[in-house]
Amino acid sequence: MTDLDVWQERARAWLASVEPEFGLRARAGLTQDEDLALGRRYMAAKHEAGFSGITIPIEFGGQGLSPLHKVLFDTLEAKAAMPIGYFGVSTAMPLPILIRYCDDKAWVRERVVAALRGEEIWCQLFSEPAAGSDLAGLRTKAEGGEQGWTINGQKLWTTFAQYSDYGILIARSDPTVPKHKGLTFFWVDMKAPGVTVRPFRLANGDIQCNEVFFDDVAVADSQRLGPIGGGFSVAMATLMIERYAASDADGFGPSIGAFVEMLRPLTINGKPALKDGRVRSVIARNHALRQGLDSIRRRAMLAMEAGMEPGPEGALNKLFSVRSRQKLSELALDLQGSAGLAYTEGAYTKADWASSWIGAPTMRQAGGADEMLLNTIAEKILGLPQDHRPDKGVPFNQIPA
C-alpha cells in the first residue's frame, strides 16, 4: 500500500469510530441550532484527530498535505453525513485568501485554527440583489482609502451569515472606472456596528441564506486584501476555489449506487426496473459523466499540488454535476410513483431524492449560475470569442441602472 492508501484507511477508521456520535442517525430530529452545536463538536474532534485543514500549511495550523488527501477525506466524510455544512464556505474559501493576502500572519493563524475547530465561522459577501452572476456589477460602496473605509450597501444569498463571526467582502471603491477595475476586497467583522443580518427560508425549508445590510460600517485599511481596485482578481481566485469546493461529481446529491439501490424493489410494466433498457441507459450515461468529472477534479488537484492556480475547469465540474443531480433526482421521484411525493424537511441531500431534487435549483445558482459557467467554458476552455458587452470599457457610473 502507498502512503496515501495508509492515510486513507486511517481516515476511514476514524470516521467510522465517530459516526455514531456525529453521523446521520445522531443528527436525526435535531433543530438547526442543535445540529450546529453538534457540528462544532465534530469540527473540534476532527482537528484533534489531525484531519482538519488538510491542505492548509502547517505553520497556519493545518496538515500541509496534498489536495488528493483532501479529496479522499471529503468523499469519505460526505458519505458519513457529518454536520459540516455550516463550515463549508468558512474553511474552503476565506482561509486560503487570508493566508495569501493578509499581512498579519499571527492573526491569520489564530483565525485559521479557530475556523478549523468550528469555533469561528466565516461567510462570503459577494452577491447582491442586482449583482450575482455579474459580480462586477455590484453596488455596495467602499468609500475612503488608506486612512480607513466606510462600507454601505446590501448583500444577498449569504450562506450562514446568521452564524458568522467574520466575512470576506468585495465592494466598489471607484465608480469612475470600468466596472471590473473599481472593486476592492476586504475582510469584515460581522458583529461590527452597522452590520444587520436577516435570514430567510429557501424552498426546501432550509434557513441558511441571508440578506446582509451595511450602514456606515467602519473598516480599517489593514482589513483590505489585495490592492485598491484589484478586488475582482481576488474574487476570481476565491470563485475558482469555490467551483471545486462547491460540488463533487454527484453534485452533492445521491450517488449512482444509491440510485441503483433505490431501483431494486421497483418494477416497470411488471418487470424489474433494473432490466429496463431506458433505465440502464440513464445509469450508464450518469456513471460515465461522473467518472469524467472525477477525473477532471483529480487532475485539477494534481495541478494545484504542483503549485498551479485552480483553472476554469471548475466550471465544468460545477455545471454538469448539479445538472446531473437534478435530472437523476427527478427520475428517481418519477420511478417511485406516489411514494416519491413524500418529503422530509431537513433531510440530507446525499441520501434523500426529494431533498436533492428540490435543492438542486439553488445549487445551480450558488457559485455561479449556469449561464455564467457556460460563458467561462466557452471563453476560457474552448477559446471562443466573448459575448458582446455594451458596458465594456465604460465607467461604472455611466452605465444605465
Lowest mean pLDDT, pick from 160-164, 224-228, 308-312, 323-327 = 308-312
Tell me the average pLDDT across 40-46.
98
Structurally, the chain folds into a number of domains equal to 3
In a domain, 401, yes or no: no
Q: Which residue type sits at 98?
A: L
Please give the angle made by the CA atoms of 377, 209 and 76, to the nearest 5 degrees. 65
% residues pLDDT > 90 (the chain): 67
Same domain, 252 and 147: no
Same domain, 258 and 348: yes
Lowest mean pLDDT, pick from 144-148, 155-159, 224-228, 295-299 = 295-299
Of 190, 206, 236, the position where a domain reaches its end is 236
Q: Contact at 8 Å (CB) between 190 and 165?
A: yes
Total-model pTM: 0.87
% residues pLDDT > 70 (the chain): 97
Q: What is the CATH number of the domain that holds 330?
A: 1.20.140.10
In a domain, 172, yes or no: yes
d(CA 352, CA 357): 9
Same domain, 212 and 274: no
Candidates 283, 280, 278; CA nearest to 258 is 283
What cell was used for 262? 433505490
Tell me the average pLDDT across 309-325.
84
Under the banding of pLDDT at 50, 70 and 90, the label for residue 247 is low
Which domain covers residue 22, as residue numbers?
3-121
Same domain, 140 and 113: no
Which residue matches cell numbers 475582482? 232
d(CA 244, CA 313): 9
Q: What tens digit of pLDDT does each residue of 269-285 get?
A: 999 999 999 999 999 99
Highest mean pLDDT among 81-95, 218-232, 245-259: 218-232
Same domain, 70 and 175: no
Under the banding of pLDDT at 50, 70 and 90, the label for residue 23 is very high
What is the distance, to the nearest Å, from the Cα of residue 108 to the centroid of all Cα atoms in its chain? 21
Q: What tens digit of pLDDT does each residue of 47-70 get?
A: 999 999 998 999 999 999 988 888
Candidates 360, 344, 245; CA nearest to 27 is 344
pLDDT averaged over every residue in the chain: 91
In a domain, 143, yes or no: yes
Under the banding of pLDDT at 50, 70 and 90, the label for residue 134 is confident
Question: Does position 243 have pLDDT exceeding 70, yes or no?
Answer: no
Question: Does position 241 have pLDDT exceeding 70, yes or no?
Answer: no
